[in-house]
Structure 1
Amino acid sequence: MEEESFVREIVYDNYYWQNNLVRLRAWSEDDWEWDYYTNFDTSAARLADYEVDLPPTPLNSKKYSERIANLCTNNCRITFAIETLDGIHVGRINILLDDDKNGTFGIGLKIDREHRGKGYGTSAMKLLLKYGFMERRLNKYSVSVLEGNEGSIKMHKKLGCEQEGVLKQNIYTNGRYYDEIYFGLTKEMYLNIWK
């Protein structure tokens, strides 16, 4: 894919899709390499997808990136790349908009191993929560987290989500059954926390 060249410099001073730590941009077909290399982190894949994928291939990452590029809605998901304000690609985040009738949504997040624990995931989540609640008029964010995914549990609590329930021994992976923990955040809770 040929690189776009612009005459003017982009000024991000008043840009909705960034905060003090990260900027979201449309996923690009050229982001396939990021996807490919992060797919070798089996522990992260197990925590995110509750399973072990088959060995990664460049072709599969290219096809996946082609499917989700340019903010295409793929299975009601819109996918963004997460970059630092210096333009370093640190992650991927998507918003699941499959239940307008009930006003609920979900968010999926993946941060590259070397960039975890620096607040990038939490900052990107804040942008999509704001978008879901304040622009899409949605009422509830819901997510399930695999038992043992301490990073995700800590992040969701920091964002103000409440644990709503546990499905005991609901997910089978790595030779045993794991609990699936559900968290939720309503718009009212969000507004009380993030005024």
Structure 2
Amino acid sequence: MLLHKIDEEVSLRMFNEDDAEEFYNLTISSKSYLKEWLGWLDYVESVEDTAQNIKSRLNEYVENRGYPKSFAIIFKGKIAGTIGFNDINRASKIGEVGYWLGEQFQGEGIMTKALNALIQYGFEELGLNRIQIKVAVENKKSRALPERLGFTQEGIIRQAEWLYDHYVDHVMYGLLADEWNKFFVTRNLAKEQS
């Protein structure tokens, strides 16, 4: 999946080196908003830092046998955020998802569409058996996404992440391939009947 058009406004595509400035500007313009839940923002100090991040994402494409692990979320032609698999365990067929959206793109349903597409990609293209998402307990917006898309809340990981000056607990969500297939079929049947 080098480019996946979700609808007329939203698509996922691989990052390319020309995205560095736009992605950096999005990150910096949303920095204070994102800092509540993302612990790496102080390490982004220049366009070059973002370019290095993109290069490592492009290397993942090669390492992952021609399948990208992460994507730019495109909304109306602009980079709105990113989504992807932070880690893939090939032996156990488990992918762990990470995502964020720029502050100005909130409330448009973009991330729900992007996560739905990534889940489908993970199960159908990558052959995963399990997709998991860890979210800070208090991050209600991010928690709503897996809950909306059929994930099961599996437990709390205490003091899972250091965020600048304090620890936060994470909620672990999991979705299995057979659960997704049932959820996907049920949802499509409901759409057809309405």
Q: What interval of TM-score do these two structures reach, taking the shorter chain for normalisation?
A: 0.7 to 0.9
Other-structure match for 1:83: 74
1:60-90 CA-partner distances (Å, limit 9, x unpaired): 1122223324873579962211113x42321
TM-score between the two structures when normalised by the length of structure 1: 0.79
CA distance in 2, matches of 1:52, 1:24: 23
Deviates more, 1:17-26 or 1:185-194: 17-26
Gaps of 5+ in 2: 186-194
CA distance in 2, matches of 1:66, 1:173: 26
Other-structure match for 1:36: 24
Gaps of 5+ in 1: 1-14
In proportion to residue count, which structure has more helix? 2
CA distance in 2, matches of 1:129, 1:110: 15
Matches within 5 A, 1:1-195: 17-20=4-7, 21-40=9-28, 41-48=31-38, 50-54=39-43, 56-69=45-58, 72-73=61-62, 78-84=69-75, 86-96=76-86, 98-195=88-185
1:114-150 CA-partner distances (Å, limit 9, x unpaired): 0012111111111111011122221100121112211
Distance 1:32 1:16, change over 3 A: closer
CA distance in 2, matches of 1:116, 1:56: 24
Q: Runs of 4+ in structure 1 displaced over 3 angstroms?
A: 73-77
Offset, 1:170: 3.3
Offset, 1:167: 1.7
Contact between 1:39 and 1:56, CA under 8 Å: does it hold in 2?
A: no
CA distance in 1, matches of 2:58, 2:156: 34
CA distance in 2, matches of 1:167, 1:42: 25
Contact between 1:26 and 1:79, CA under 8 Å: does it hold in 2?
A: yes
RMSD after superposition? 2.6
Contact between 2:14 and 2:68, CA under 8 Å: does it hold in 1?
A: no
Offset, 1:155: 1.0
Offset, 1:187: 0.9
Aligned length: 179
Offset, 1:46: 4.6
